[in-house]
Amino acid sequence: MHDSGLSQLDRGLSYGDGFFTTMLVENGIIQLWSYHQQRLLTAQQQLGFPVLQLDKIKAKLEQTLQDKALAVAKITVTRGLGGRGYSLPEHVSPSVFTSISEFPSHYLDWRQQGIRLGIAKLRLASGNITAHLKTLNRLEQVLLKQEADTQQVDDLVCCDIFDHVVEGVASNLFWVKDNCIYTSDLKGAGVAGTQRAFLLDTVSQSPYQLKTGQFAIEQLYQADELFVSNALLQFAPVKQFAEYSYSQFPVCRWFQEVVKHAS
């Protein structure tokens, strides 16, 4: 395993053969590290990568985070150098890249004031065996982000080819009806986010019920509340969805308070 500049022969560049996780840093500490660690471990195992020394990667990254009050850290892993063609090299030596960047300041406004949510025309492919992993193949999300910008909204409700609600462009999506939280089970498409995993682990301590499954977008029109999550945004309410407006976000606010005390 080596940490280096990107070679033209790196399989991450040639084939998107790799995975990553993006993490929130507060006061020099990576938030919800155990969830990011599990994400990396799951991808490593399911993609057949050699064992990664995740504790050492984290320790090296943390050396540069000590003076960061609020920042973004990212770990990217590729399968390393390989020859031409899809076949794996005889000896795989993963490349590990770490980076630190500024926290998107508008996310603080989104957490408090909410986001505008549109509906994507582009449909997510369903049945991809790596869909739930955070792999380096993100072209669907690139195109969806372009569509969100064209619609002049902050995010989009993305459905699969069967018109089941899946997620946002770069977030997981939740909606509430009669104190029950609904979200996609992600069986056909969609990324299993770290913040989503935190919610699934925490909801049993909340006053709310949870139901996962495959849902039609019409159910969102009846929702009392909608909110989204990702590692940097944590939880943010939806203030406008299509022609519907919302001003009260009790469920989202509950999870916002809980995640403040998690690490």
With the CA atoms of 18, 21, 22 and 24 taken in that order, what torsion angle do they form, in degrees rounded to the nearest 10? -160
Which member of 135, 167, 194, 239 is catalytic?
Answer: 167
Which member of 58, 134, 183, 239 is catalytic?
Answer: 134
Q: Which value, in Å, is the radius of gyration of the alpha carbons in the chain?
A: 19
Which member of 21, 22, 78, 135 is catalytic?
Answer: 22
Cβ atoms 126, 189 nearer than 8 A: yes
d(CA 77, CA 44): 9
d(CA 246, CA 225): 7
| Helix and strand totals (H; E) in the chain | 7, 13
Estimate the crossing angle of helix 250-260 against helix 194-202, to 10 degrees: 100
| Residue 167 falls in the annotated catalytic set | yes
Dig out the tokens for 195 from the structure. 């913040």
| Residue 98 falls in the annotated catalytic set | no
Write the DSSP symbol of residue 51: P
| Residue 22 falls in the annotated catalytic set | yes
Cβ atoms 43, 134 nearer than 8 A: yes
Instruction: Please identify every residue annotated as catalytic.
Output: 22, 134, 167
